[in-house]
Amino acid sequence: MTSTLLYTILSLSLLGGLLAVVLYLIAQKFKVQEDPRIDQVLEALPGANCGGCGYAGCRAFAESYVNNPEMTDFFCPVGGNDVMKNVAMVLGREVKEQVPRLAVLRCNGSCDVRPRLNVYDGSMSCAVAADLYGGETGCSYGCLGLGDCVTACTFDAIHMNPQTCLPEISEDTCTSCGACVKACPRNILELRPKGPKNRRIYIACASKDKGAVTRKVCTVGCIGCQKCVKECPFEAISFADNLAYIDPSKCRLCRKCTAVCPTGCILEINFPPKKSSD
Amino acid sequence: MSKTFSIGGIHPNDRKFSRDHPIEEFPIPKRVFLSMNQHLGMPAVPVVQKGDMVKVGQLIAEPAGFVSAPIHASVSGTVSDVALYPDFLGKKVLTVVIDTSGDDWLESIDRSSEIKHEITDTPQEIFKKISEAGIVGLGGAAFPTHVKLTPLEGMKAEYLILNGAECEPYLTSDYRLMIEHGQEILIGGELMRRVLGDVRGIIGIEENKPRAIELMRKHAAHFLQWEVVPLKKRYPQGGEKQLIDAVLGRKVPSFSLPVSTGAVVQNVGTAYAVYEAVQKNKPLISNVLTVTSSDPSIQRNYHFRTGTPVREFLNAAGAPEQDGTLRFAKVVNGGPMMGKAVANLDGAVMKSTSGLLLLTEKETKRQEPGECIRCSKCFQACPMRLQPYLLYQLALAGRTEALEEHRVFDCIECGCCLYSCPAHLPLLDQIRLARNVSLKNKRKK
């Protein structure tokens, strides 16, 4: 009895030891040389694997960052400047600071201001609807409201607001990874700087229709009157295809444009309310 | 024993309610909207300007390339606008708008109803007339007819098949055309046959149209090279590839043109348009469509001018109630299987519009999609032997390469998978999207 136990333990230990030696030798022979800094960079990254940096995931970013010292435009939008500082510290490199951004919806056509002309009954996807026809409202540029951006967002930062039928983007959770921008078939989501104190001004319309056509289908669309273009003292507003656009790098947030816009399609976010004497 | 195609297919109730209603002349609308995109290929380029006076049949837009077609004024009057207008799908398309005044035709057009049997033109002249008349495939796809009649290197057409299958439920426009203008269709077919060279002519008609088979047989007896082939009732028999399989038993391989099997397919409506263009000098400015529903008072066949707004047909059919609201939930441009829902009632019907189908909410409302249980009904129904359940999953995952591997480009959008799915999954919606996205990517490369 005792001897059986003894033989079993002995033979298995021997076998284990032998296999360990074989495995060690094989591991030595086929060792993969990898830059240890890749793991260090990976450690410093947020690990969201969102693809917002343009690489397939955080590891792909880390590999490319370590292997291409001459390239400078690496940036992790999720981590922002703090994370990029840490990442750069690992390799002792410089990093170009970027202004924090977030996604904004260039459409303000809620259900009340943009009447529905038909009822969509197909697959609940913006991409399918956009491929099929012009949309439930008369505006063929505005939000379709079927929530492809909500599905695309991996940070739970976009939700449909049932009152307005438009998606709402949370300032705190949006990481500006750009997944929603790619998912939107109408191309109306845009990554814009968050702005000082989170204050920003943008034109919430993407309609390239002529003013009269836009007005007919939506009361808050850009009608291309160009009042804002003339009003802007910093030449920040450009105009093309019946649509004005505010260049965030030139805009100084003076709010003169919002005052003159006849349809109110220029949105000012997080500003204190204007005094009534204005 | 009647013939049919060998793979897949479904048997929807044919509901051809309007089959016994003769073709009526639809009143000329006050205003027509002629889209520059009424055919496959490059959109036509307008040659008229705002304020120009035009006559019926006058050229208003030139083709923008070989795979394109000219467009002619369908009414006489003044061009009131050349601009982007939403079409019936609500998409913005360059459109020529004509305000009608009178009905002043070009003098070169022969408007008599007398049938001209004698063919005097040479094949080259016939071809030229077809391409100048802006004739496109009237079976639905609107592919320019002259392109199909152009011989390709290494491919010799042996058969010209006239498509009288009309397998879409509800639609009866082709049937009425065969009953009322059978002789003209055969002359049109004979004209195209001469363009193709010495080929045999076949007319394929489904068995649920016995009168059309009998009449077309009688007319075909006057021609040497023509015969009528009755086909079993089965959807999508009218699909080009399915019809070739049904009639000749030949299969069109992936990524190749139907003519590679030696067969050219043209719709019977197209043959009628060819007859009018060559024998009567009349360009394609009118067509026959079915306006139908399950309400017996709205079941008609109309001969209409292209560019008539959809709303005019609904008003004429008595679709709106007293207060102007529509009592139907959906208007479909085309048949119930392949037609597209009209999103903009002010949009106009086009050259190739074959029907307007009015459906109530109960008839059209989609059911909530469930889960795929791998029952393989979609696979059995698919006439192209694709695996719709798999393509659906791949499309949702956005796996472009795998989609191409599984022949997503072969999808003919017939809707058999969607029709047969017991879980009501939006199979075709996603597959069509994936196919269009891949096609776009391919073109970019």
- Whether chain A has a CB inside 8 Å of the CB on B94: the answer is no
Per-residue model confidence as pLDDT tens digits over A185-210: 999 999 999 888 889 999 999 999 99
Q: Per-block average pLDDT, block size 10, for chain B (445 residues)?
A: 90 93 95 94 94 95 94 96 92 94 92 91 94 92 92 88 94 96 95 92 95 95 92 94 94 90 95 96 95 92 96 87 80 93 92 94 89 94 96 92 93 94 94 91 81
Q: Distance between CA atoms of A61 and B376, rounded to whole angstroms?
A: 42
| Domain chopping of chain A, boundaries | 36-91, 101-269
Provide the terminal-to-terminal Cα distance of chain B, rounded to the nearest Å: 48
Per-residue model confidence as pLDDT tens digits over A13-64: 999 999 999 999 999 999 888 888 899 999 999 988 888 888 989 999 999 9
Per-residue model confidence as pLDDT tens digits over A78-99: 888 888 888 888 888 888 888 8
Task: Find chain B residues with C-beta within 8 A of A206's C-beta.
Answer: none
Q: Which of B347, B355, B285 is nearest to B103 (CA)?
A: B285
Q: Tell me how far CA of residue A55 lies from CA of A43, A49, A119, A188, B413, in angstroms.
A: 16, 9, 39, 23, 35
Q: What is the pLDDT, as a whole number, of residue A70?
A: 83
Q: SS3 of B129, please?
A: helix
Nearest residue in chain A measured CA to CA from B86 = A134
- Whether chain A has a CB inside 8 Å of the CB on B340: the answer is yes
Contacts with A192 (C-beta within 8 Å, 6 or more apart), sequence order: A101, A102, A103, A104, A200, A202, A248
Instruction: Look at the domain A36-91 and name its fold.
Output: 3-methyladenine DNA Glycosylase II; Chain A, domain 3 (1.10.15)
Over residues A87-115, mean pLDDT? 88
- Exposed e or buried b for every residue in B198-211, given b needs 16+ CB within 10 A? ebebbbbbbebbee
Asked whether the ipTM of the predicted complex exceeds the cut of 0.90, the reply is no
pTM, to two decimals:
0.87
CB B24 within 8 A of CB B288: no
Statement: residue A278 has pLDDT above 50: no
- Picking from A128, A139, A210 by the largest number of B CB atoms within 10 A of its own CB, the best residue to mutate is A128
Chain Cα centroid distance, residue B417: 21
Q: DSSP letter for A118, please.
A: S
Q: What is the pLDDT, as a whole number, of residue B2?
A: 87
Q: What is the pLDDT, as a whole number, of residue A277?
A: 45
What are the φ and ψ backbone dihedral angles of B179, each rounded to 5 degrees? Answer: -70, -45
Q: Tell me how far CA of residue B226 lies from CA of B21, B179, B236, in angstroms.
A: 28, 17, 24
Contacts with B432 (C-beta within 8 Å, 6 or more apart), sequence order: A128, A131, A132, B411, B413
Kindly compute the dihedral angle of the four CA atoms of residues A74, A186, A131, B69, in this order, to the nearest 10 degrees: -110
Q: Distance between CA atoms of B355 and B139, rounded to whole angstroms?
A: 11
Q: SS3 of A215, please?
A: helix
Length of chain B as a residue count: 445
- Picking from A132, A151, A217, A218 by the largest number of B CB atoms within 10 A of its own CB, the best residue to mutate is A132
Q: Distance between CA atoms of A88 and A69, rounded to whole angstroms?
A: 11
Structure tokens that stand for B165 in this block: 């299958």
Q: What is the pLDDT, as a whole number, of residue A87?
A: 87
Q: Which of A119, A120, A71 is nearest to A91 (CA)?
A: A71
> Residue A212, by phi and psi: left (phi above 0), alpha (psi -120 to 50) or beta?
alpha
Chain A contact residues (CB < 8 Å to B): 117-119, 121-123, 125, 127-128, 131-136, 138, 140, 209
Kindly report whether the peptide bond that precedes residue B236 is cis, defined as omega within 30 degrees of 0.
Answer: yes
Q: What is the pLDDT, as a whole number, of residue B333?
A: 94
Q: What is the pLDDT, as a whole number, of residue B271?
A: 96
Residue contact A122–B429, C-beta within 8 A:
yes
Place of tokens 């007339």: B129
Query: What structural domains and CATH numbers belong to chain B?
Result: 23-100 (2.40.50), 111-280 (3.40.50.11540), 287-364 (3.10.20), 377-444 (no CATH)
Residue contact A119–B89, C-beta within 8 A:
no
Same topology between domain A36-91 and domain A101-269: no
Residue contact A132–B89, C-beta within 8 A:
yes
Instruction: Look at the domain A101-269 and name its fold.
Output: Alpha-Beta Plaits (3.30.70)
Residue contact A131–B436, C-beta within 8 A:
yes
CB B36 within 8 A of CB B96: yes
Q: Tell me how far CA of residue B56 lies from CA of A40, A224, B86, B144, B387, in angstroms.
A: 77, 38, 24, 21, 48
Over residues A140-169, mean pLDDT? 93
- Whether chain A has a CB inside 8 Å of the CB on B426: the answer is yes
Question: Parallel, antiparallel, or unpaired: how do β-strands A266-269 and A200-203 relate?
Answer: antiparallel
CB B178 within 8 A of CB B163: no
CB atoms within 10 A of CB A276: 5
Residue contact B343–A134, C-beta within 8 A:
yes
Residue B322, judged by CB atoms within 10 A of its CB (0-12, 13-18, 19+), counts as exposed
Hey, CA dihedral for B152, B154, B155, B158, is it positive or negative? positive
Nearest residue in chain B measured CA to CA from A124 = B426
CB B347 within 8 A of CB B95: no
Q: Distance between CA atoms of A263 and A31, rounded to whole angstroms?
A: 67
Q: DSSP letter for A156, please.
A: S
Q: SS3 of B274, please?
A: helix
Please report, for chain B, how many H helices and E strands are present, in that order.
Answer: 13, 17
Residue A150, judged by CB atoms within 10 A of its CB (0-12, 13-18, 19+), counts as middle
